[in-house]
Structure 1
Amino acid sequence: MSSHRLFKGKLAIVTGSSRSLGAVLARHLAAKGANIIVNYTSDNSTEKAQEVVEELRSKYGVKAASAQADLATIDGLKKLVEIAKSRFPNPEGKFQIDIINNAGVTNPKALEGLNAEAYDAAIPYLSTDRSGRIVDISCIGASVGLVYSTAYAGSKGALEAMTRVWARELAERATVNSVSVGCTAEMAHVVLPLLSNAPLYAVRQGIDSEEVVEAAKDLDGRPAAWMTGSCVSATGGGVMTRS
């Protein structure tokens, strides 16, 4: 199968509006053939989310729909699943979520043993043949110790820990990984002292996009860059590392 149709017919749920990381993931998955549910929370994001949906449909020829639901609430989780089921009905009666840009909570019980108020909203619709993909979005904030970010950094650190637990508990249903991203242009001023020593911090005139070049004028460097200096573990879960 060619890489540009790798996920043909798969259903992915991602979170974010037009300029978010979720939107970037939505475009990437749609380019590989996946159908997309774009989840967003606030009324202010309705128009932006719909813009992403229309872009995915027209540019990549996939099915796409938006769904407003607050994933910080139990009702929001259930609402998102119900919207996905109604927008993407399966003629054979089997609804399945294949790829998730994930959000969740914790509880001192085995994952499958948690009640409906925790994870059951989505678990019944995961694959049962290891074909599912769960991608947890973490952040540099879990590692660098930014001031005034106790709750945010703590939640991202917990998410990374849960990623490793879910990788074991959901092994027969899906792979589970987390991606720790750097800062965006909006947050670069907060972590500027930490970024200034990064190898890929220098802006490149004529190579980087105009947006990056413009952002760098105020920040004295790039607001974000690609991976370097990281060790990615591809051991089938034998060694679970944090890159």
Structure 2
Amino acid sequence: MARPLEKKLGIVTGASRGIGYAIAEILAAKGCDLILGYTSTSSQAPAEKLAQDLTARHGILAIPIQADLGTTAGPASLIETAKSRILEPGASRFQIDILINNAGVALNDKLPDIKVEDFETSYRVNVLGPLLLVQAAQPYLPTDRSGRIVNLSSVSSSGGFPGQTVYGGTKAALEAMTRTWARELSESATVNAINPGPVLTPMYDRNTPEFKRFIKGYIEHTPLMRARPGIDSDEVVKNAEEAGGRPAYVEEVAGVVAMLCSPESAWCTGQVICANGGMLLGLQ
């Protein structure tokens, strides 16, 4: 089987679970060596197990590294630790070929209930974290336009969903930075974002019943969210009856990320690419 990302090094933040986990799996299957970033101590065991599994199944180098991307020192620490773990003695070049800004938080509240501390946490993790990580990674990006940076945004940047003043704002900021970085880093890497809608993850499950009722109409009109008896599990089909359709599977979102990391995606940059099954049409 062809491994188009052989000998490339990728960094995936928030890699211990959910979409990040699925992204790590598909990049590893394509031959990419990986740095698996995680934040909390509770994520250490799953990140280490993922690294072991990917190494065993795909013969790649997979290194879990803990770093709090919500701090000013965390992003640079992740890059410097990766460099120290990978750079062989006597080697002259440490190169980051792929960077996936996946780690994020969603702290939802209606306007009267928004807390300053939640605003600050959200913008530190979802906006400042990716900014400082790309800043720290820039000296180690390729110089031949072969690099790939993919930022995980959300339909929330455009949807105006109730309770997502802060979360939607962080994702809109990330999309704006994506466009700027596409210009500033053009000789090193393409820079794109994807905008998933509901995805079958614990983060989506934590949404309130009120929020899920509001987005039901959107889901009902999303082409690829229609549940498929006999293909989707019975549980997914049953839940879709109430929700209006099914969320994306993490593998489906990861597939779009992998597409943007391929050599064939070299003529696409500064874009927000649909990864929401058609929940938003014509807004990318």
TM-score (norm. length: structure 1): 0.81
Q: Return closer, same or farther for 1:214/1:45 CA change in 2, 3 Å cut-off.
A: farther
Q: How many residues align?
A: 227
Are residue 199 (structure 1) and residue 197 (structure 2) matched? no
Amino acid at match of 1:54: Q
Query: Which residue number in structure 1 is paired with residue 107 of structure 2?
Result: none
Query: Which residue number in structure 2 is paired with residue 156 of structure 1?
Result: 171
Once residues 194 and 39 of structure 1 are traced to their aligned partners in structure 2, the CA distance between those partners, rounded to angstroms, is: 33
Q: Deviation per CA, 1:137-193, whole angstroms, max 9, x where unpaired?
A: 111111111111111111111111111111111100111111111212342663333
CA contact (8 A) 1:13 1:99 kept: yes
Give RMSD over aligned pairs.
2.9
Are residue 89 (structure 1) and residue 112 (structure 2) matched? no
Deviation, structure 1 residue 75 = 0.9
Q: Deviation per CA, 1:32-89, whole angstroms, max 9, x where unpaired?
A: 1100111111111111212221221111110001111111222101110122112211
SS at match of 2:34: strand
CA contact (8 A) 1:134 1:177 kept: yes
58, 61, 64: which one aligns with 1:60: 58
Query: Which residue number in structure 2 is paired with residue 32 of structure 1?
Result: 30
Deviation, structure 1 residue 235 = 9.7
Structure 1: tracts of 5 or more residues without a match: 112-116
CA contact (8 A) 1:7 1:33 kept: yes
CA contact (8 A) 2:198 2:248 kept: yes
SS at match of 2:128: coil
Structure number with greater CO (CA < 8 Å, separation at least 6) is 2
Deviation, structure 1 residue 18 = 4.5
Deviation, structure 1 residue 215 = 4.6
Amino acid at match of 2:128: V
Q: Please show how residues 56-205 of structure 1 align to structure 2 within 5 Å.
A: 56-90=54-88, 91-102=90-101, 104-105=127-128, 120-185=135-200, 186=202, 187=204, 190=212, 191-205=215-229
Deviation, structure 1 residue 118 = 7.8
Amino acid at match of 2:49: E
Structure 2: tracts of 5 or more residues without a match: 102-125, 254-259, 273-282
Once residues 7 and 158 of structure 1 are traced to their aligned partners in structure 2, the CA distance between those partners, rounded to angstroms, is: 30
Query: Which residue number in structure 2 is paired with residue 219 of structure 1?
Result: 243
Query: Which residue number in structure 2 is paired with residue 11 of structure 1?
Result: 9
Which structure is higher in helix share?
A: 2
SS at match of 2:153: strand
Deviation, structure 1 residue 210 = 5.8
CA contact (8 A) 1:104 1:119 kept: no
SS at match of 2:225: coil
Q: Deviation per CA, 1:106-157, whole angstroms, max 9, x where unpaired?
A: 9xxxx9xxxxx78542211111111111001111111111111111111111
